[in-house]
Structure 1
Amino acid sequence: MGQAQSDGRNASLSHEQLAKTLADKFAQKCFTSLELYSFKDVFKSLADNAQGLRYLKEDTIAQFLEIPDVLGVSPVIFQMMSCIGAFPFLEDAPAVLGLEQMVMVVTILTERYRRVLARGTMDRRKLLFKSLAVYDRCLSEREGDKGGPKDQVDGKGLDAKSELDEDDDLVLAALDSLDYIPASKQEKPPATHGAMIPADNWRKLIMLLLLIAPLDAQENLASYSNRLSGGELDNLRATADWILAAFLNVEKTPGIGFSRFNTVIPTSMPFMFDGLTALFEHFLFSKNLALDRRIGDQPQPGSLPSGLVQPLLQDTGSIMNLNILSQLSFFIPASSLFRRLRLLYSGDEDGFSMGSFESKVFNWRAPTLLLVSGTRLPGEAADAHSGPASAFLATLPTRRFYPENGMRTDDDSVTFGVYLSQPWKHAHRECFGTEDTLLFQLQPIHDVFHASTVNKDYASFSKPSASAPIGGITFGCPPPQATQASRRSNTIALGPVSLVLESSFEFGCFTHDYTSQGGAFQTSVARKYDFQDRFEVSSLEVWGCGGDDEARHQAERWAWEAMEAEARRRINLGTGDIDADRSLLEMAGLVGANRSGGSMG
């Protein structure tokens, strides 16, 4: 744009003219010819007409997108669209959703704007926040009067002004593309001191985002209606509340400020809004075209028969369900989760033992998800318990962490998990795992702890032995050592941010030593204080992330191990003739020729 950009020769044009120019540019460069034709056809079929102006109403949009009434989220979506429709002149919001305004909405919510705008393309969070926020200066001042540090937005103050009053990169990129320079500061969006997303609105939107997380652009949202009745709806609402707890304590503050919004999402929920892409791409598929009927009757290779849809979750578990799956997709790419998970190990079905865990999990050659749920142990000291609980607490260091600012909930149920891209193995002198390992909490507060480079004590699997009596599965802790000069051999060495499951899988402990600033895993961005959850395990599951090839390899390995075990069982040993017994083993292919029974070679 060069000289034209610096001259700002379009500054004399009205906002309406400039917005139309940008909409035309988006339409031509962000949509294919077929998509643009479909978009116009859809708009024409939906639009109301008032005095020659064609526009979309809230109920029309909700009906077209099949947004469930039970969620009560349609007004929130319409507010968001009405604000984005005024882009890049957000001070003109709310906008009437005509054709040009809907081009803005679809282009931005599907992230197609990246094809046009050279700046601001990496982040639309600020725009999304503005489109969802309400502006109440008096409310902000009342919240600020409660005192507390300004960098908190959990009921102790709001700092939206300092960050939201800065220029929006996405808006500036759009204005640059139009060769437009504001004539004065009055052209900029108004100050946004007091901007916050009401907690109830945010909860409703979270429920919708959980519902649409697996949605395909040509898939009807109504097909997920079974997730919105009875206990399923209660479960969806509970999952949304766990996520909401990462942003605020609803008893202390009525809404979420931008600082909290912009801190939690990129760390704990970077893919949270991905479902909006598929939802709003529905505007780009006209039912009048019916392209699927013109392709032919021959099914595509690998496709399912007509009317059959591969389930989002092929197996059932005590912890994993569709809402947990959607929650996981907020920070793990959906392409690795939906229709890709297989239950490898379940303590409820396979037994709570390290041997069973090893036999079911170690042969999976693709990433895995471990989920563990339980109930917090009551009491504070080991002598307050008896039996196994007391024995487990005695293995923990005496130092205990207690939350200071009340973000801990009254719900004693906890769910933690780990994502591992590396296959499981025994930890002898060093841990395993890579820098993409994720430690996370799902209940009662959503939180994600990314791997750091302080050390590489990501994961450890160690059975108890005479030299190392304390075994188990740990994440973020140094591996058990045969000799420990600096600590007792019967005490677990907890990492600053760590999860420990003792060898019988009866008890676990999650530690968050915020003061230490983390170890193998980084500290929380949502909970900036020390805490520790000691809990009794109720369920433990491991899910394999992969396709048919990984599942086939796993099945072949299990079958081979079963046949080898049966071969060993059938051999009649104990005759007293060592040479004869060895000959039988060699004939069975179990020893000799450098074989030890642990390889398929």
Structure 2
Amino acid sequence: MGQVQSDEGRPAPSHEEITKELANRFAEKCFAPLELFSLKDVFRSLADQEQDVRYLKEETIARYLEIPDTLGASPILFQMVSYIGAFPFLQDAPAVLGLEQMVMVITILTERYKRALAKGASDRRKLLFKSLAVYDRSLSEIPMDKENVHGHEDSPGGPNATSRPSGFAIDVAGDDEEGGEMAEEDEDELVLAAFDSLDYLSAFRHGNSTTINGAMIPADNFRKLVMLLLFIAPLGPQETPSLFLDRVAGAELKNLKTVTDCVLRAFLNVEQSPGIKFHQFNAIIPSSMPFVFNGFTPLFERFLFSKNLDFHKHRDEPRTPPKIIQPLLQDTGSIMNLGVLSQISFFIPGASLFRRLRLLYSGEDDGFSMGSFETKVFNWRAPTILLVSGTRLSDELDYKSTGAESAFLATLPSKRFGRGSSEKAERLTFGVYVSQPWKHTHRECFGGEDTLLFQLAPCHDVFRASSLNRNYVTFTKPSTSTNHAGVHFGCPPPLPTQAYRRSNIISLGTVSLVLDSSFEYGCFTHDYTSKGGAFQSSEARKYDFQDRFEVSSVEVWGCGGDDEAKHQAEHWAWEAREAEARRRINLGTGDIEADRALLEMAGLIGANRSGGSMG
């Protein structure tokens, strides 16, 4: 092993020598001296020893990282760490986690490797997938039309498809399906970059790859990992998971499990498919949850801060008082909670969310009207997140249908798509991230290319903005000059038309969300076949679907700091003063001329109008 001749004719170094050299390179370029000192100190304090080998055990890592037992994620995390610890010789995994192996783990999981590998890949998805996967020929041979989880009920691979795999026994790898094929000689770019940085690329280019053909992440393993990732999503630098232990008990734990199921449905239906294959993992992660693994950075950086380093020990000044930690979510809402906030942080950076959201508008508190929405939201000068939740409407009108429901459905084109998911839960939650301030729509939509349309329940999905069609957001209040009032996303603006030319049907975008002007009903459309809309189609559900729903909650959350909140508060205070001033205007004080002048200025009397008797 490791005795291949290099181009220069000298014997290639052994695996152990290369691992040590790479670990030294990572330590030198990816860690500050104090961080490296802390890592060694922490490792010495935690490591067990057998003969001359010092290493970390699973329970030791779980205890130091404060992984709650309730999540059941410690074995999955240790499997992943043991695999990455074998880098760059992944075929030798699992690795004994010595100091050099932990350098590999921390460097890769915190993405510090980018400082040392100039030619390295910009992501680590393939490596993370392999670290979580099992290999089973019987699982890899499940037909694609049965294994795929999403699709229309009547289409191949739809929710009605079933499969009965035999388990997860390790076997010889089979061929992966189309779209997920990975040839034996297709090395990991990260591995190749590591060898290239050491000038051993030609010697080790062949024979060191680990195939992902037949590889699959078991659904239950991934569920536990997602729960852990949701739990650690709010972690900041030098923060400990113990700060959030209340999230793994009682109602918070139940909510965490509910959100986890929604995220898992982005990849598969656990009742029909045993696990996640690489083509699903590789397509959905970058499109719907690019920041899902960001919590690993502050978690594993805990190894770089030793508790034995106390710079106040030899000083006379008192210790710095502990910093007051603000709550992760300052306000409460009927839709937004810590689980949902963590879920959103999978595709919007957590630095813009945790401890920075403010509830601007709630339909339940402020009234389900566009006027209340405008008053509360329009003067926020930072990005906003709109959330809407409701109950899916039946495809058939029945005796329980209201006149308002019938009127709303009459404004939509005839339904020709099935529903978006096969889950029994009829609760739907959608959202939109808008970076620009809200405004009235006249002839052009507003919003930028960073606008995000997304679904949170019952299936996690993100629809990114297109650069070709800019019909992102419209806000149109009811009037005689517009066709259809309401808040629309992904639809063309309602252009003013003559009454005899006015259409009763809303022009729906290929991927769009429509809320009527009273915030009673909504409709989400995903016309995968047509394409070309303001928002890109789903990577998880490659089929046509439409969900019509009755709205139960609407919320708008402001993303920003104290400056934005202060500006908003000042504007609300000004509006309150103006309203009070208008309320205190008192006509009939005895000064008839002054009262008449005031009424004329308001346009209530004068010309051919009479204001009635002033006497």
Alignment of 1:377 onto 2:383: no
Aligned to 1:46: 46
**Which shows bigger deviation, 164-173 or 128-137?**
164-173
Aligned to 1:265: 285
Query: Could you say if the C-alpha distance between residues 381 and 453 of structure 1 is closer, same or farther in structure 2, counting changes exceeding 3 Å?
Result: farther
Alignment of 1:196 onto 2:212: no
Aligned to 2:78: 78
TM alignment of 1:7-26, pairs within 5 A: 7=7, 12-26=12-26
Q: 2:441 aligns with which of 423, 427, 430?
A: 427
- 1:23 is displaced (CA, Å) by 0.4
Q: Equivalent residue of 1:339, what SS?
A: coil
Q: 1:163 aligns with which of 153, 173, 182?
A: 182
Aligned to 1:36: 36
Aligned to 1:179: 199
Query: Could you say if the C-alpha distance between residues 148 and 264 of structure 1 is closer, same or farther in structure 2, counting changes exceeding 3 Å?
Result: closer
Q: Equivalent residue of 2:201, what SS?
A: coil
Code of the residue aligned with 1:162 in structure 2: it is E
Q: 2:586 aligns with which of 572, 577, 583?
A: 572
Q: Equivalent residue of 1:483, what SS?
A: coil
Code of the residue aligned with 1:172 in structure 2: it is L
Query: Could you say if the C-alpha distance between residues 564 and 583 of structure 1 is closer, same or farther in structure 2, counting changes exceeding 3 Å?
Result: farther
- 1:232 is displaced (CA, Å) by 1.1
Alignment of 1:210 onto 2:230: yes
Query: Could you say if the C-alpha distance between residues 29 and 193 of structure 1 is closer, same or farther in structure 2, counting changes exceeding 3 Å?
Result: same
Tell me the alpha carbon deviations over residues 397-455 of structure 1, each in whole angstroms, 9 at most, x when there is no partner: 1143115xx85322110100000010000001111111111100000111111111232
TM alignment of 1:543-582, pairs within 5 A: 543-573=557-587, 580-581=594-595
Query: 1:296, 1:585 → 2: CA distance?
Result: 74
Q: 8 Å contact 1:396–1:492 — kept in the other structure?
A: yes
Q: 8 Å contact 2:182–2:213 — kept in the other structure?
A: no
Query: 1:263, 1:296 → 2: CA distance?
Result: 56
Aligned to 2:359: 343
Query: 1:425, 1:61 → 2: CA distance?
Result: 51
Q: Equivalent residue of 2:141, what SS?
A: helix
Query: 2:589, 2:147 → 1: CA distance?
Result: 83
Q: 1:314 aligns with which of 330, 333, 336?
A: 330
Query: Could you say if the C-alpha distance between residues 483 and 255 of structure 1 is closer, same or farther in structure 2, counting changes exceeding 3 Å?
Result: same
**Which shows bigger deviation, 472-481 or 157-166?**
157-166
Q: 8 Å contact 1:159–1:257 — kept in the other structure?
A: no
Code of the residue aligned with 2:181 in structure 1: it is S
Q: Equivalent residue of 1:423, what SS?
A: coil
Code of the residue aligned with 1:37 in structure 2: it is F
Q: 2:513 aligns with which of 490, 499, 503?
A: 499
Query: 2:460, 2:49 → 1: CA distance?
Result: 45
Any stretches of 5+ residues in structure 1 without a counterpart?
Answer: 589-601
Code of the residue aligned with 2:422 in structure 1: it is R
Alignment of 1:540 onto 2:554: yes
Aligned to 1:479: 493
TM alignment of 1:441-480, pairs within 5 A: 441-468=455-482, 470-480=484-494
Query: Could you say if the C-alpha distance between residues 555 and 586 of structure 1 is closer, same or farther in structure 2, counting changes exceeding 3 Å?
Result: farther
Q: 8 Å contact 1:164–1:258 — kept in the other structure?
A: no
- 1:482 is displaced (CA, Å) by 2.1
Alignment of 1:525 onto 2:539: yes
Alignment of 1:64 onto 2:64: yes
Q: Equivalent residue of 1:474, what SS?
A: strand
Aligned to 1:366: 382
- Equivalent pairs: percent with the same residue? 66
Q: 8 Å contact 2:195–2:204 — kept in the other structure?
A: no
Query: 1:486, 1:493 → 2: CA distance?
Result: 17
Aligned to 2:613: none
TM-score, length-normalised on structure 2? 0.88
Query: Could you say if the C-alpha distance between residues 250 and 574 of structure 1 is closer, same or farther in structure 2, counting changes exceeding 3 Å?
Result: farther
- 1:542 is displaced (CA, Å) by 0.3
Alignment of 1:131 onto 2:131: yes
TM-score, length-normalised on structure 1? 0.90
Alignment of 1:236 onto 2:256: yes
Query: Could you say if the C-alpha distance between residues 281 and 349 of structure 1 is closer, same or farther in structure 2, counting changes exceeding 3 Å?
Result: same
How many residue pairs get matched? 577
- 1:183 is displaced (CA, Å) by 4.6
Q: Equivalent residue of 1:162, what SS?
A: coil
Q: 8 Å contact 2:312–2:318 — kept in the other structure?
A: no
- 1:181 is displaced (CA, Å) by 3.4
Query: Could you say if the C-alpha distance between residues 296 and 170 of structure 1 is closer, same or farther in structure 2, counting changes exceeding 3 Å?
Result: farther
Q: Equivalent residue of 2:300, what SS?
A: helix
- 1:517 is displaced (CA, Å) by 1.2
Q: 8 Å contact 2:212–2:278 — kept in the other structure?
A: no
Query: 1:359, 1:578 → 2: CA distance?
Result: 35
- 1:382 is displaced (CA, Å) by 8.2
- 1:583 is displaced (CA, Å) by 5.8
- 1:335 is displaced (CA, Å) by 1.2
Q: Equivalent residue of 1:414, what SS?
A: strand
Code of the residue aligned with 1:228 in structure 2: it is V
Tell me the alpha carbon deviations over residues 471-508 of structure 1, each in whole angstroms, 9 at most, x when there is no partner: 11000111122217997532211111110110111111
Query: 2:145, 2:527 → 1: CA distance?
Result: 31
Query: 1:200, 1:574 → 2: CA distance?
Result: 76
- Superposition RMSD in Å: 2.9
Aligned to 2:275: 255
Query: 1:22, 1:485 → 2: CA distance?
Result: 74
Query: 2:8, 2:108 → 1: CA distance?
Result: 24
- 1:576 is displaced (CA, Å) by 12
Q: 8 Å contact 1:163–1:258 — kept in the other structure?
A: no
Tell me the alpha carbon deviations over residues 142-186 of structure 1, each in whole angstroms, 9 at most, x when there is no partner: 45695889x999979745762364221100000111111355776
**Which shows bigger deviation, 48-57 or 485-494?**
485-494
Q: 1:330 aligns with which of 346, 355, 374?
A: 346
Aligned to 2:369: 353
- 1:461 is displaced (CA, Å) by 0.7
**Which shows bigger deviation, 257-266 or 450-459?**
450-459
Q: 8 Å contact 1:242–1:444 — kept in the other structure?
A: yes
